[in-house]
Amino acid sequence: MHQTAVYRRGKWEVVNELVQFDRRLLATLRRQMEANQVSAADVVLAEVESQTTRQQVEAARQEYAAALADLRQQIGIARVAGSAEPVGELTVPEGLPPENLDALIRAALDCRPEIQSARSQVAASRAAVALARAERIPVPSVGPAYEKDESGVSFYGIAVSTPIPVWNAGGPLLRQREAEYHRDVVALEQLQERTTAQVKATFARWQQAQRSVAQTQSLAELLNAQTARMERLFEAGQSDVIRLLQVRRRAVEARSAQLDSLWQSTQAYADLLAAVGTAPLVGSLATDSR
């Protein structure tokens, strides 16, 4: 919830920056129109763009308000329910090097609770098979014997008894226990395969998200520099409003795309943690590999 609120706040701030730019642009255009340097059509175009941006601001504000309400609800503390705000900026989570994939798979296989439960079930089934197999072996019973006949003579000795399986030697029960053991082993293997595939898929998504963040960040920095240059050219009368609007819009779109890639990165990282099933271990793996 916190990352969602930070993301929505960032999108709102991006549109607010565009609103501020539109206001400065309108003020400049109106001065230039009074000096007969631009036409009234250029001013009208800028006004339309400004009105459109203001509508986008309201939509972004509503989305941020909804995310903020969800965050405050999740916190669940009455005294801050109406004033809690997300802190910090949306950033890339701590990275994991590619060579840690095998370690992550081992960690998932060792720590996922459903795998531990399946392994316990296999161990119980194996013990049941061993017990059923052992019960097929007759167990003799040896003990003292005492008897006294009609004439009063006492007899002492040792009695030995043992079951002799004739109709049921324990075969059906053993075969049932072996079938149950095979079923549990197959279930464990399938669960391990699904877990391995999930870790690999989420790790690949995480890597792709990291690359996307790097690409969008470099593009946003480039377009911000080009926008600043175009603003200087416009103020010096060496560019028109159409070109300035185009460059500025592309810069805002790049900044919005950067926020989107950061958001996707946080979601991919959360999915990776869920696939591994142990957040503390994931952090230690990333630290130890450096």
Report pLDDT digits (tens) over 111-123: 888 999 999 999 9
pLDDT in tens, 57-72: 777 777 777 776 766 6
pLDDT over threshold 60, residue 127: yes
Residue 157: both structure tokens together: 């000795």
pLDDT of res. 179: 94
pTM equals: 0.64
